[in-house]
Amino acid sequence: MDQRSLRILEFDKIINWLTDQAQTEPGRQLCRALMPSAQLDVAKMAQEETDDAVKWLLTRGALPLYGISDVAQPVERSQNGVWLNCGQLLRVGQFLRAVSRLRRQLPADETPQTAVQKALASLIPIKNLEKRLDEAIAGEDELHDAASPELASIRRRIKGAQADVKESLNRLVKTHAKLLQDQLVTLRGDRYVVPLKAEHRGDLPGIVHDTSASGATLFVEPLPVVELNNRIRELSGLEREEIERILQALSMLVAEASEPILENLLVTARLDFLMAKGQLALNMKAMPPDMNQEGRIRLKAARHPLIAADEVVPINFELGDTFQTLVITGPNTGGKTVTLKTCGLLCLMAMAGLQIPTQEGSEVSVFNQVLADIGDEQSIEQSLSTFSSHMRNIVQITSEAGPGMLVLVDELGSGTDPSEGAALAMAVLDHLRRHGCRTVATTHYQELKAYALRTEGVENACCEFDTETLKPTYRLLIGIPGVSNAFVISRRLGLQPGIIEQARQLLSEEGIRFEELIASVEKQSRDSEKIRQEIDQLRAEAQQEKQQLEKARQDLSSHKKRILQQAREEARDTYQQAYSEVEAMMDEIREKIRYGQLHESERMADQMRHQIRAGLNQVEGDIGRETLRASGRKMTPGQIKTGMIVTAPQLGLQGRVIEVPDNRGNCRIQTDDGMKVSVPAAALQAARASTDQQNGTAGGKGRARNGRRSEAGTVSIRSQKRLTASTEIKLLGQTVEEALSSLDSFIDDAVLAGISSVRIVHGKGTGALRGAVHQQLKRDSRVKAFRLGTYGEGDSGVTLAELR
């Protein structure tokens, strides 16, 4: 792709925006390298990958990509036999932990189908090396004692020798206190010494290792501890040798696993790249376009992604179907240049596999080349005027003209004599059309409007201008040439009528008729648009009335069901009473049977009992089915009380109210499985059990069954949570009570979003907050396990938790 055109169309700004979404440096490198592709299959595949990432973000949330760094250089150094230091090995270990964490995002029983799933499945955890590095590396320049048994033994002996030295020196300090400047033991180099007053140099035999700046203090190693210090030095040498041996062994292990490590690095970078593309699409509210290679562009409600959402005006744009060249006319600042840039930029984004901010059903073609001449690039140093600057670009464009090219030209032929500029513009457009280019050009020349009207394959368009308000609407009208509106604008701005009339007389009669005809067509177009809007409004009102009628019908049906339910319950009571009477009769009959009487009466009573029992069973069944179908009753916020059992049918939830509605109309309910959810009060209904309790029949008939949340409701809530859910919470600066409340809500959101691992930042401080957090995590049934962070993860200031 032409780099100058990419810059003019601001594709580099989209790339910067994309790069900001990436979380790792390898991922950011892939974002920076993204370029449009002229191959249809490549562009389609890239679009599918982006769509996969969007769906993953909506259903499962962001991937835990923290801890990933570019470990290619240290790994390659280990391949060449170079020993890695602690810091390099630490980063390799962090990378291996991140790989294992990412691989767990794809369940073992899930068959990889999408691009994200396949990438996750291709990760290769290296558990043995990951565990060995975790056991050995303590920090950027430190090994754990457990790195090897020999290292642990050496360090124990060093600590013992140091304790002996300190004990000996402490006794000496107490017995020779008057000789010393301070009663303390210090280090010079790696030797333990005491601060001796200079005037007592001969009173304490030993080796002088240093002198204070004033010369008043000598730092002396007393002779009794020389041998002990020598022992410490010997052990320190053994420690260094053991550390070197361990680092060498660990470096060799990294070298042996270098191939899968580097493969994992490529996969994690690709995952970060895919997530960045998906997140950018969500931020832009973009959609995947249909792709073709026939030069056909059809954009529905297209928005320029770099214009603020509250300022951009969506446009409908088409090219390459019934016409190959589009000539856009209209006043300055009317939106012509924005239309050019929107068309070009969205084409480049789609070719690069990025979703575009349009409505569903938009279509974009791949092009071999996208060339743009937009803006004034006149150069004083090169002695180029505006016309010369534009013409130099046109020369390049016309020399490369051919099929599969999209050309975007702003103010074609401007900067020179109008008649010559218009002639040149028509010749250039004709040249591009004959060579099969798809061309969009803006102009003020009337001759080009006529050229578009009489030339096959060329169409007019204009950016609408409201002559009443003297402001552009920024709407693109295809099929209608624009008018300059110079006379109308001048009159409204107060130019004398005589001057305007003289100017009209100077125009040719044909030109006046042409402008009047165009103005008439544009006015009719605006009028038809107003009629269309009125029709849309009437249609919306009709739809609203239809919905209201449907609601009234449902209310009537519900009322009917309630009446039938009441009748069934009364019938049940009647049958129950009759059945009890029959049972009493049967008891009496059995007594008489003992004496051999009333055999026929027994048969008749038994038959009557069966009939009554069958009727009672039918009524019970009807009541049970209607009770299960009952959806409760609507409630106002004032009717909602703490402890009530409520349902949210649209969300598929049922639970107990734990917080009444706040000033925004939201209240919190706790479901039967312990999940706490914030729900609008308008979405709640009283459950049957709650209604019965209020009527004094708690535990009676009609209790609503729980535990059956609809799949659609659950997916809806989780989709919303996954857009905003985070894998980390910071509790710094909060009181213990505030922190625990925040943590509880955070875990609710994480569980609802399907996040399996979270990071809790509580800081080190006095340890009180950390202890309170750990106590709550121990009691929380949603928490599977937790641990303090290691070096590089935040140490004891961070707790990492795994959720069920």
Residue pair 801/785 in contact by the 8 Å Cβ criterion: yes
Higher-pLDDT residue of 522, 341: 341
**For residues 672 and 613, which has the higher predicted lDDT (pLDDT)?**
672
Which residues have CB under 8 Å from 408's CB, separation 6+? 9, 340, 341, 343, 344, 370, 371, 372, 373, 374, 439, 440, 441
**Closest listed residue to residue 773, CA positions, set 734, 735, 730, 736:** 736
Please name which of 280, 276, 257, 256 lies closest in space to residue 268, comparing C-alpha atoms: 276
CB atoms within 10 A of CB 725: 19
Most confidently modeled range among 5-14, 159-168, 184-193, 788-797? 5-14
Contact 294/320 with Cβ under 8 angstroms? yes
* 3-class DSSP state of 180: strand
Section 183-203 average pLDDT: 76
Q: At a CB cut-off of 8 Å and minimum separation 6, what does 104 contact?
A: 756
- Backbone angles phi and psi of 196, in degrees to 5: -100, 135
For residue 165, the model assigns a pLDDT of 81
User: Position of tokens 């409007």?
Assistant: 449
Determine contact, residues 116/56, Cβ cutoff 8 Å: yes
Phi, psi for 221 (deg, rounded to 5): -95, 105
Cα-based distances in Å from 406 to 216, 324, 385, 441 = 85, 10, 26, 11
Cα distance between residue 737 and residue 746, in whole Å: 14
> Does residue 267 carry a pLDDT above 60?
yes
- Any residues with CB less than 8 A from the CB of 497 and at least 6 apart, and which? 491
Phi, psi of 776 (to 5 degrees): -70, -40
Q: What spatial distance separates the first Cα and last Cα of the chain, rounded to whole Å? A: 49
Q: How far is CA 673 from the centre of its chain?
A: 27
What is the tens place of the pLDDT at every residue in 403-418? 999 999 988 877 676 7
523-549: pLDDT as tens digits = 656 667 677 778 878 888 888 888 888
Strand locations in 173-292, DSSP E?
186-188, 191-197, 206-211, 217-222, 290-292
Structure tokens at 601: 């009466």
Q: How far is CA 767 from CA 495, 673, 747, in A?
A: 78, 32, 21
- Residues 6+ positions from 589 with CB-CB distance below 8 Å: 598, 601, 602, 605
pLDDT of residue 23 exceeding 90: yes
The residue written with tokens 């009759």 in the block is 578
Report residue 470 as tokens: 């003297």
Give yes or no for residue 715 having a pLDDT over 50. no
For the chain, state the CA radius of gyration.
41
Using 50, 70 and 90 to split pLDDT, how confident is the model at 608?
Answer: low
Alpha-carbon gap, residue 346 to 11, rounded angstroms: 9
Mean pLDDT lowest among 637-641, 695-699, 769-773: 695-699
CA angle 756, 761, 763 (to 5 degrees): 155
- 470: pLDDT strictly greater than 80: no
Distance of CA 194 to the CA centre of its chain: 62
Pairing of strands 315-319, 757-761: unpaired
Ramachandran angles phi, psi of 730, nearest 5°: -110, 120
Q: Classify residue 89 as exposed, middle or buried by CB count within 10 Å of its CB (0-12, 13-18, 19+).
A: buried
- Which amino acid, 773? V
Rounded Cα distance, 73 and 93, in Å: 14
Closest by Cα among 344, 371, 342, 369 to 357: 342
Over residues 45-65, the pLDDT tens digits come to 999 999 999 999 999 999 999
Q: Name the pairing type of β-strands 325-329 and 438-443.
A: parallel
Q: Give the least confident one: 48-62, 292-306, 437-451, 611-625.
A: 611-625
Cα separation, 184 vs 203, in Å, equals: 18
Cα(366)–Cα(370) distance, integer angstroms: 9
Mean pLDDT score, 675-697: 63
Whether 589 and 598 have beta carbons less than 8 Å apart is answered as yes
